[in-house]
Amino acid sequence: MKVKTRRFAVCALACAMTAAAGALLPLGAERASAAEVQTSAAEEVQAAAVEANEPRALLAYLTIELEGGNGEVWATAKNVFTLLPGTVEVQIELYSSTQLPSSYEEMTLERRIYKGDLNQGKELVARASTDGEQRFWMARMTSNVDGSGKQDKLVGPMLFDGNGNLVESWEN
């Protein structure tokens, strides 16, 4: 068999197989256009790429501290360690009250700070002025590691004077 005849035979066989495959479709079935097939394939590749690149941190060790000085009180959240790369959402809320509270819910929210991804070794600080008044302060940190669910940590109550110096602590 010559080369031209072989090529023709392979092409004819491919056409016959395509036609036979099309004949196997049920009567009401629609055939997808080439553009639809390409779009569908592109969407599958993109979805697989997104899934493969999703952060997968197993855990994160976060700390929160409440401190004061120079007429201010501040809460510091720190991502001390994250096992495997991931997204660590952190929100800090700083509360104050003139009366000793049993919960942060009985206090006034002074400051709220949010970070969508607090990287390992980094800190997030929420500051508020004492306005020269002695008050009780609490800090609340809400974190979410790779969408695994929110976790809360509380610090306080602590009594700071008008200069931001710690007077007494009833830390939880």
DSSP conformation class of 38: H
Q: Is a pLDDT exceeding 50 seen at residue 30?
A: no
Q: Which domains does the chain have, with CATH numbers?
A: 3-53 (no CATH), 59-169 (2.60.40.2060)
Planar angle of CA 78, 81, 82, nearest 5 degrees: 115
Does residue 120 or residue 4 have the better pLDDT?
120
Which of 108, 86, 84 has its CA nearest to residue 96? 108
DSSP for 81-96 reads: EEESS--EEEEEEEEE
Residues 46-76: tens digit of each pLDDT: 444 345 556 577 788 999 999 999 999 999 9
104, 93 contact by CB (below 8 A) = yes
- pLDDT band for position 165 (cuts 50, 70, 90): very high
- pLDDT band for position 77 (cuts 50, 70, 90): very high
- pLDDT band for position 133 (cuts 50, 70, 90): very high
Which of 154, 102, 153, 111 has its CA nearest to residue 130? 111
Q: How far is CA 11 from the centre of its chain?
A: 53
